[in-house]
A and B are shown apart, each in its own frame.
Chain A
Amino acid sequence: MKLRYFAWVRERIGKPEEEIEPPAGVATIADLVTWLSGRGEEYAHAFENPRVIRAAIDRAHVRSDAAISGAREIAFFPPMTGG
């Protein structure tokens, strides 16, 4: 699946997007955040406070308990500040 990062999540991870294949057992957004956090310091830094991280699956907002199976694109970003 494709991961996309925005704003300071993107800056901390150091790339706007990447293709990943999470291992079996990574079933939800929360699982994915935990798994990504273990991939390196930059990910740990980006996800150090999971409560503030927002996520979208295939361009729709989801909660951290949302299932990721079948997702084509998952995005992580800080709380939005548009308008």
Chain B
Amino acid sequence: MAATVRLQREPFDAASEAEKLRRGRRDIGAVVMFTGICRGDEAGAPLLAMTLEHYPDMAEAEIVRHVTAAERRWPLLGVAVIHRYGRIQPGEDIVLVVTAAAHRQDAFAAAEFLMDYLKTRAPFWKQIELAGGGATDKIWVEAKRSDDALADRWTPSSGSRAAE
């Protein structure tokens, strides 16, 4: 199965990526599309923009590795993952995960699995700019324990996440 994995600065068209996966296919019975969007506030404070830093070669390799793991785990008929980097403004898309399968359970599960791993294992770091404009208003987003817990549920023994 050919998966699409792309890291890019420019916006993506979520609907057309989903359409590409299913075009001309008669075996696909379910397509799940998740889009992560930049919110306009952080804990109540207005957000001007978000900048995503990434480790280019490793990020792509990590995402491909997790797509491969998803394909081994669920009978998928198509996968697309697109992750943006650079400066992103509120209302813009950040990340896209599309999964296609014969049945919805597999498509839902694989999409959740991929998102949980993107949040905790793919080398991206978010920095937010709050209204105010000073250098002190640029803040690195802290990793959430709740995200780690969500990623851990996919591994039978949830030991250290620092290595596999």
> A residues near B, CB below 8 A?
4, 6-8, 54-56, 59-64, 66, 75, 77-83
Least CB separation from B141: chain A residue: A81
- A54-B162, A63-B162, A82-B95 given; A75·B58 CB < 8 A: yes
The 8 Å CB contact of A83, one of B61, B115, B127, B162, is: B115
Cβ-based interface call for B22 (8 A): no
- Cα(A56)–Cα(B65), bound, Å: 15
> B residues near A, CB below 8 A?
36, 52-55, 57-59, 61-62, 83, 94-95, 115, 118-127, 140-143, 147, 160, 162-164
B118 touches A83 (CB 8 A): yes
- A7-B140, A63-B162 given; A82·B55 CB < 8 A: no
- Cα(A83)–Cα(B143), bound, Å: 11
Which 3 A-B pairs rank lowest in CB-CB distance, beginning with the nearest? A82-B124, A79-B143, A83-B119
Count of CB-CB pairs between chains A and B under 8 Å: 83
Least CB separation from B85: chain A residue: A82
Chain B residues near A66 (CB-CB < 8 A): 163
The 8 Å CB contact of B123, one of A6, A62, A63, is: A6
The 8 Å CB contact of A59, one of B57, B115, B147, B163, is: B57
- Cα(A55)–Cα(B55), bound, Å: 12
Least CB separation from A7: chain B residue: B125
- A6-B53, A8-B140 given; A80·B125 CB < 8 A: yes
The 8 Å CB contact of A4, one of B55, B94, B118, B147, is: B55
A80 touches B120 (CB 8 A): yes
Least CB separation from B122: chain A residue: A82
Least CB separation from A59: chain B residue: B58
Least CB separation from B65: chain A residue: A60
